[in-house]
Amino acid sequence: MPFDSVCKFIAETFTADLATWLLGEPVELARLELAELLSSPIYADSLVLLESRDLVLQIEFQVEPKAEIPFRMTDYAVRGFRRFPNKRVHQVVIYLRRSQSPLVYQTSFDRDGIHHEFEVIRIWEVPASQFQELPGLLPFAVLAQTGDREQTLQQVSERIEAIGDREQRADVAASTAILAGLVLEKELIRSVLREDVMKESAIYQEIVSTAEERGRSKGLREGKREGKREGELSVVLRQLKHRFGDLSPKLQQKIDSLSLASLEALGEALLDFPSEVDLAAWLQEHR
């Protein structure tokens, strides 16, 4: 599930709401292209860059903790200082799914005299009520600290229904449904959130389109593999018929079920089979 993409979408669509949460005030922020900071954006998947007149906000969304995060944030900071020497760089790592790993408590990088600090938010420790006032924060509420996630999702759903702007309502609903998948079953999410509303969202359509494209690519690859297997099967059967005549239904069935790799191996081995007995023995060994 593309949780990183959804978080980036939320941060870039509801910048004022994110600023209110992370900075304590609704600072006017604009999206900053990765190329402005990262000459080689090797960490681009989960990074959001926003800027104001005097600040660069770097947000790193993470589902699972990673040991390289402290170095990553130090790397970002140095690049930010170089690119924007007159702006303050504010960094936040947001962990989305509860973890007992000590990595989610690391807030600094220390090595060879270098010390760099950054902010870390473990979203499951933040009261869900903090995310229920602003539309752009609603998708995070179900991941937050709550005694009843299903009830929280229901409350979020009610607030989503009250959003007047149709496009915004769809975006928040779709984002909520996707992030809720980290902690709740899909069936429950579908029973609470209206799919007809979510379908109007740009992020929902993008994810569906991406999934369909992957499905087509996967189907094409599988089709090619199956076509190659069928071709190899045809060649092997012709060779066997030429050597032993018509095969018994039992042997035929075993050969039909072989994988492409096994058929290729059989195509080489059958040249050394004096009789069907050897073929049967080979199939027994490679079943």
Q: What is the pLDDT of residues 240-270, one digit of tens each?
A: 877 778 888 888 888 888 887 888 788 778 7
**Ramachandran region of residue 245, left (φ > 0), alpha (ψ -120 to 50) or beta?**
left
| Phi–psi pair at 231, nearest 5 degrees | -65, -45
Answer yes or no: pTM beyond 0.75: no
What's the confidence (pLDDT) of residue 222?
55
Q: Tokens for 207, please give them.
A: 């994810």
Q: CB 141: neighbour CB atoms within 10 A?
A: 27
Looking at per-residue pLDDT, the higher value among 217 and 135 belongs to 135
Give the pLDDT score at 248: 81
pLDDT of amino acid 212: 46
pLDDT digits (tens, 9 = 90+) for 92-122: 999 999 999 999 999 999 999 999 999 999 9
Which tens digit of pLDDT belongs to each residue from 167-201? 888 888 888 888 988 888 888 888 888 777 666 55
The predicted pLDDT at position 147 comes to 92
Instruction: Report d(CA 149, CA 141) in Å as an integer.
Output: 9
> Tokens 């005299």 map to which residue?
113
pLDDT-derived band at 219, boundaries 50, 70, 90:
very low
Task: Report the C-alpha gap between 257 and 233 in whole angstroms.
Answer: 10
